[in-house]
């Protein structure tokens, strides 16, 4: 599939148009950033490892009947995806308190709430992707209440599937963020990858962090952590 004009130049992925208007090519890079791109680096083979993790997760979700934009892997760092109209809302799932929520509410990291927590953010870099609620989303014209209901339902199903998958890998799925998009017929599907860049993974046995927090917090062994996630997922059937 021929790579054409760049559509999206993100922190860890780039998306290109192809000769097929219904398909895009997504490339995973070695770049890693934190704190609104203030901190940046390149991690050897991160793009290849992240691509492999994303593909395995897409396949687990598809096997569970959850539609995604993933079509196929075309190289070690590239996947072919269905082109969707992205809904500018970031869905965040929190199974364990960590990161910004711990800071915002003064709760210690590692607390497991009695319920799964869902947050949404308005995807707008100029505003630093602010936390909003459903009524804000509808007032801003980002989605209808019906679309939000569908997105929450899909997010819950994705979380249910992936918590089980990662548990088999000896990993606690602490939290993750995803985006959805619409196909031409209006169907809403997952249109985002899940990797250690966009999720928190903690080793169940040791509590060791296996995600981008290692880079954010100068914990070293970032590439090794990403490879650990990849290798463990490989053994989950």
- Tens of pLDDT, residue by residue over 22-66, are 999 999 999 999 987 889 999 999 999 999 999 999 999 999 999
- Positive or negative: CA dihedral 187, 89, 155, 17: positive
Q: What pLDDT band is residue 92 in, cutting at 50, 70 and 90?
A: very high
Q: What pLDDT band is residue 237 in, cutting at 50, 70 and 90?
A: confident
Q: What pLDDT band is residue 73 in, cutting at 50, 70 and 90?
A: very high
Q: What b/e string do you get for 173-200 counting C-beta neighbours within 10 Å, with b at 16 or more? A: bbbbbbbbbbbeeeebbbbbbbbbbbbb
Q: What is the pLDDT of residue 128?
A: 92
What 3-state DSSP class applies to 168? helix
Residue 218 confidence (pLDDT) above 90: yes
How do strand 78-82 and strand 85-94 relate by DSSP bridges?
unpaired
Query: What size, in residues, is the chain?
Result: 237
Write the pLDDT tens digit of every residue in 152-177: 999 999 999 999 999 999 999 999 99
Work out the number of other CB atoms within 10 angstroms of the CB of residue 232: 18
* Mean pLDDT for the chain overall: 96
Q: What is the pLDDT of residue 122?
A: 98
Q: Which domains does the chain have, with CATH numbers?
A: 6-82 (3.30.200.20), 85-221 (3.30.470.20)
Which runs of E-coded beta strand occur in 10-103? 13-17, 23-28, 31-34, 39-42, 70-75, 78-82, 85-94
Helices (H), the chain: 46-63, 99-105, 134-139, 145-168, 213-216, 222-234
Percent of the chain with pLDDT over 70: 100
| Residue tagged 């903690």 (tokens) | 202
Q: What is the pLDDT of residue 228?
A: 98
**Across residues 76-85, what is the average pLDDT?**
98
Residue 110 confidence (pLDDT) above 80: yes
Residue 208 confidence (pLDDT) above 90: yes
Angle at 86 between CA 128 and CA 164, to 5 degrees: 90
pTM higher than the cut 0.75: yes
């Amino acid at each position: 599939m021929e790579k054409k004009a760049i559509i999206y130049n993100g922190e860890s992925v780039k998306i290109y148009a192809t000769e097929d208007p219904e398909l895009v090519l997504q490339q995973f890079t070695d770049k890693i950033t934190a704190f609104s791109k203030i901190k940046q680096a390149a991690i050897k083979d991160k793009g290849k490892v992240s691509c492999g993790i994303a593909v395995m997760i897409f396949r687990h979700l598809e096997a569970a009947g959850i539609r995604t934009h993933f079509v196929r892997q075309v190289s070690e760092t590239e996947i072919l995806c269905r082109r969707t109209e992205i809904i500018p809302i970031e869905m965040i799932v929190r199974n364990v308190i960590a990161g910004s929520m711990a800071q915002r509410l003064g709760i210690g990291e590692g607390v497991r709430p009695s319920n799964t927590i869902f947050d949404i953010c308005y995807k707008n870099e100029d505003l630093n992707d602010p936390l909003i609620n459903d009524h804000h989303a509808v007032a801003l014209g980002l989605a209808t209440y019906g679309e939000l209901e569908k997105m929450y339902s899909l997010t819950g199903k994705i979380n249910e599937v992936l918590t089980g998958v990662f548990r088999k890998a000896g990993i606690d799925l602490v939290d993750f963020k995803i985006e959805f998009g619409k196909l031409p017929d209006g169907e809403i599907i997952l249109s985002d990858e899940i990797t250690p860049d966009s999720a928190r993974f903690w080793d169940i046995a040791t509590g060791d962090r296996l995600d981008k927090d290692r880079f954010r917090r100068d914990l070293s062994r970032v590439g090794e952590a990403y490879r650990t996630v990849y290798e463990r997922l490989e053994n989950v059937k």
